[in-house]
């Protein structure tokens, strides 16, 4: 059931922007009818994740230092899809850039909002199958490590809290559900 938006926007001020995000502060009337403010981070790209899976049940993870967290993070290959590029094109590009892999088959397995209380960031996750290894070509901002692990080990990394990236967790949990339901086997 679709509900009516209870928020009223009185004004919007752009307070910051760069090539990737914009921060707007909205003067609002909240659902209780009171004046308030609401800050929203708007993303200029769509988030894209790719879960590469081999026929024998191995997946590829990429590790990199995440500046915003001040932590090293193991994740599925991910990136941004700018306007003018489809999410599938971006998924193919990110997989090749970060791992050197090319896939014969891509399947959209999840659509998601990544932090919907403060941002409009939207993402899509693809399963990549029929993999061929080529040469990785990471961007200048990426210092990436790559590891190929059995799916069960990657899933255990989620359970142990060693993978904390939301797109990666969702992708790995979705693959587990697909395996349990018999939608995929290796």
Note the pLDDT tens digit of each residue in 38-85: 999 999 999 999 999 999 999 999 999 999 999 999 999 999 999 999
What angle is formed at CA 101 by the lines to CA 123 and CA 150, rounded to 5 degrees? 85
Active-site residue set:
142
**Quick one: DSSP state of residue 151?**
H
* Cα–Cα distance measured from residue 52 to residue 145, given in angstroms and rounded to the nearest whole number: 15
Partners of 81 in beta bridges: 46
Per-residue confidence band for 138, with pLDDT thresholds at 50, 70 and 90:
confident
Residue with tokens 């990236």: 165
Structure confidence at residue 143 (pLDDT): 87
Structure confidence at residue 50 (pLDDT): 98
Structure confidence at residue 148 (pLDDT): 97
Decide: 163 and 74 in contact? Cβ < 8 Å. Answer: yes
Average confidence score pLDDT of the chain: 96
Mean pLDDT of 158-185: 97
Length of the chain, please?
186
Per-residue confidence band for 126, with pLDDT thresholds at 50, 70 and 90:
very high
Per-residue confidence band for 141, with pLDDT thresholds at 50, 70 and 90:
confident
Q: How many helices (H) and strands (E) does the chain have?
A: 3, 10
Strands of the sheet with 71-75, listed across from one edge: 71-75, 58-66, 145-150
């Amino acid at each position: 059931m679709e509900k009516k938006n209870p928020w009223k926007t009185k004004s919007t001020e752009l307070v910051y922007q760069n090539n990737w995000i914009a921060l707007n502060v909205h003067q609002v009337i909240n659902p209780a009818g009171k004046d308030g403010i609401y800050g929203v981070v708007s993303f200029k790209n769509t988030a894209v994740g790719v879960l590469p899976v081999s026929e024998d049940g191995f997946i590829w993870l990429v590790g990199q230092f995440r500046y915003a967290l001040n932590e090293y993070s193991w994740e599925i290959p991910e990136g941004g899809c700018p306007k003018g590029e489809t999410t599938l094109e971006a998924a193919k590009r990110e997989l090749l850039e970060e791992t050197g892999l090319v896939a014969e088959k891509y399947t959209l397995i999840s659509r998601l909002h990544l932090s919907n209380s403060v941002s409009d960031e939207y993402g899509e996750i693809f399963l990549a199958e029929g993999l061929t290894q080529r040469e990785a070509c990471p961007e200048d901002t990426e210092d990436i490590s790559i590891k190929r692990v059995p799916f069960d080990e990657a899933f255990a990394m989620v359970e142990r809290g060693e993978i904390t990236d939301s797109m990666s967790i969702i992708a790995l949990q979705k693959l587990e559900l697909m395996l349990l339901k018999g939608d995929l086997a290796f």
